[in-house]
Structure 1
Amino acid sequence: MTDTPARLLNLLSLLQTPREWPGSELAERLSVSARTIRRDIDRLRDLGYPVEASKGAVGGYRLVAGAAMPPLLLDDEEAVAIAVGLRAGAGHAIEGVDEASVRALAKLEQVLPARLRHRVSTLQHATLPLTRGDGASVDPRTLTVMAGAVTGRERLRFAYRAGDGTPSKRQVEPYRLVSTGYRWYLVAYDLDRADWRTFRVDRVSEPFATGARFAPRELPTQDAAQLLGASLARSGRPEHEVDVVFDAPAEFVAARLPGTLGVPEALESGGCRLRATSSDSVEWLAVRLALVDCEFTVRGPAELREYVRGLSGRLARAAAK
C-alpha cells in the first residue's frame, strides 16, 4: 500500500480495535515493512493520536486514552449504531445527554453517506420508544437542522402549530435550543413579529435552513433559559413560587436541574437554596426535585409541599409491599 494517507487511515482503524497489535502483524496487514509501520506510528503521534508501544522481542502498539479526543474511524455498523443511539437521546430529551446528543448527531449526520442515513432512518421508523411525560417526542432530524442553523447563524424557516392548533409559517434567527428535561424549545428572534419568541420543537415541521447569515442580536435576558422561563410564565399556565433547600452543594444541584428553574444559591451550611418561578405542574416539579438524588426540604408553595408529602407516602407503601 503506497498511498500514505490511505495507509494511515487503515492503520488508525486497526489501532482503534481494543487490543495490542504486534508490529509484524500490522506490517503484514498493510503490506509494508516494519520500518514503515514505525514511521506511520510516529506520524499518528504527531497528529495527536496517543499510540503506546510495548517493548519485547515482538513489540506491539495500541491506542490509549489521551488528554484530548482524537477523530474516530467507524465502520458502517458502528456509525449506524451510534447514530440510532444519539437519535434516541436527542429525540426524547433524556436528562443529562439531550443537548450533547443533538450536537454530536448534527456532526455525525453531516458526514454520514446516503446509504447509512437511509439505514438509520429505517431503524428509527421500525422502533417504538416508550416516552414519558406527555409523550411530546420530536423528530431528531428537526433538531439537527435547527442545531446546524444555530451553530451556522443561518436564518431558519419552518411551519408551526400553536397550542390551539393554529398553523403559521415562521422565519426566524435561531439563537439556542433549550431542553427542560422533557421538552425541547427553540429560542429565536421572529423576523415577521420583530420580537423574541420561543417555540416548542415538537410543534415544528418542515424546518429549512435558508443559508442567509445573520449577526446574533442581544438577548433581552441574561440567557436563553431565562428567556424561556419568562415566556412560559406568560403562557397562562399557573405559576408556582418554588422555594426548596437541598442538603447538597449548589454545583451538584444545578447540574441535575433544568436551566429554566434558575441557579440555586449556596448556603453556609454547605447546602443550597433554590427560589424560582415555574409554570410546570406540581407533579412534574416533585419528580424533578426527587431526581436530584439528595435530601431536600420544600418550603413552598403549599401545593408542592402537600404533593411531595403524599408522593413520599405512596412510594413508601409501595416499597413495603
Structure 2
Amino acid sequence: MSPASASAEKTERLLNLILALKSARRPVSKQKIRESLPAYAQASSVEAFDRMFERDKDELREMGIPITTTVIDVLFDDEVGYRIDASETALPAISFEPDEMAALALAARAWSTASISGAASAGLRKLRLSGVEIDESVAAGAEPRIRTKEPAFEAVHAAVSALQPITFDYRRNDGELTTRHVQPWALKNWHGRWYLTGYDVDRRGERAFRLSRFEGPVGRRGRAGSYAVPTDHVPEVALEAAQPEPEGTAVVRVRHGRGHTLRRHAQRTTELNESWAEIELPYRRGTTDRDVVALGTHAIAVSPPELVDAVRSALLAVAQAHERVDAEPVGAEPVGARPATEPTRTGEQA
C-alpha cells in the first residue's frame, strides 16, 4: 500500500471512530466498536485490533478530542465503554464586535486579485451562514486595495497553497536569465514588493525571488502536497538575508506623502519644507535607483554620483522611448544642482 493510500485509510478510520463515538447515546464497548467499523473488523487478530484502537484513541486525544472511558457494568469493572461528549467538542457561538466586523468587511474588499477576492468572499459567506451579520456599509467610503500586478502572482499563489513544485524563468540582479525549479514555501509582500520564498532544487538551498523578475509562464512540476514547509521557516528572515549588502549611503529628496518604500529604509529624515523631505538610506545598486525612478517627479536623487547617473540614464531611456527627449530629465538632478522647484533647506535664504 502506498503512503498516500495508507494516510487516506487512517484518516477515514479516525473520522469514522469520531462519528461513532459522538453519535452514541451511551458508552460503546471495545467489542462493539470492532464489530461496527469495517476498518477494525478487518484486523487480523484481537491483538492487532487492540494495538490499532489504542493508537487511534491516543492520537485523537492528542488532537484535543476528549474520549471518556466509563464502566459499563458495575458488576464487571473491567468492562468499559468509550464515548465522545458532543458538548465538549462543539465550538462556541461566533460573535464579533462592530469594529471587528468592519475590519472583516475591509479585508474582504482589499484584494484586487480575482483568486484572492474569491476566497475572501467565500469566507464572508461562511460567516453569514453561521449567523454572523456583516454590515459592509460600515466600511463605506474606504476602498483598500492590495495590488498584485505581477503576472506570476496567481500561479505562484496557487502553487504555495497546494504545496506543488514549480519552474520559471527568473531575471537575476545582473540581468542574466536563469531557469529555476523551486518548492514554494511562502508568498510575502515585503517593503511594497511581492516575494516568493522556497527551496531551490538545483541549488539545494533556501532562496527568495521577487515576483516582478519572473519572465514568462510559471509551470507546475510534480504532485501537489509532495513536500512540507519547514516549521521554523520565517519569510521575513529569508528575505532580509537575501538582500545584497549596501554599497554606502544614498541621499534622496521625496515629496510628502510619497516614497513610502524609500522611507521604510530611511536612517535619517530631514523635513526641508511643507512639500519636501530629505532622507538617507542604504544604497543598493539596481534597487535604490529603481525605487527613485518609479517615483518620477516626486523624487530627486542627490547622491552618490552613481545613483544620480543611474536615475538620469533610466529617465532618458524612457524619454527617448516616447520621443520626448528633454535637456534636463525630470526626476534626477546633477549633484549640487538645484531646480527652480527644489526645496529650500531649513535655515537657508529662499
Q: TM-score, normalised by structure 2?
A: 0.38
Q: Give the number of the structure whose alpha-carbon radius of gyration is greater.
A: 2
Q: TM-score, normalised by structure 1?
A: 0.41
**Highest relative contact order (Cα 8 Å, sep 6+), 1 or 2?**
1
